[in-house]
Amino acid sequence: MKVKKKFSDEIVSIKMNTTSYCDDQYYKTKMLEDRDNEKYKNYPVNIWALQVDWILNGDEGRALLEKILNSENFELYECMPI
């Protein structure tokens, strides 16, 4: 996962882990947290993402958008993702 910048003063780091179990060593070495600081909080979450920038930036995306635009099938516009 890529985090380009910190999200806010409270959400500053996201790290991947293969298990839901995270011990103090994980937080110290992977999350770089000072576990003695009471202001540090952690929240396990599941994050799902779909990369869609190709639709606007890539040749394949441009072709897809042109096919949708030039299609005579108006039912395409009833599809919520489109």
Domain shared by 72 and 38, yes or no = no
Q: CB under 8 Å to 55, separation ≥6 — which residues?
A: 61, 64, 65
Domain shared by 37 and 72, yes or no = no
Domain shared by 4 and 37, yes or no = yes
pTM: 0.37
**pLDDT exceeds 70 at position 7:** no
Q: What is the pLDDT of residues 25-76, one digit of tens each?
A: 887 887 777 777 777 777 767 777 778 888 888 999 899 889 888 888 888 7
| DSSP-assigned letters across all residues of 7-24 | -SSS-------SSS---H
pLDDT at 26: 81
Range of the structural domain that residue 27 is part of: 1-49
Domain shared by 54 and 39, yes or no = no
Q: For the chain, how far is it from start to end, CA to CA, in angstroms?
A: 26
Domain shared by 22 and 37, yes or no = yes
**pLDDT exceeds 60 at position 82:** no
Q: CB under 8 Å to 31, separation ≥6 — which residues?
A: 13, 15, 42
> What total number of domains does the chain contain?
2
pLDDT at 56: 85
Domain shared by 13 and 45, yes or no = yes
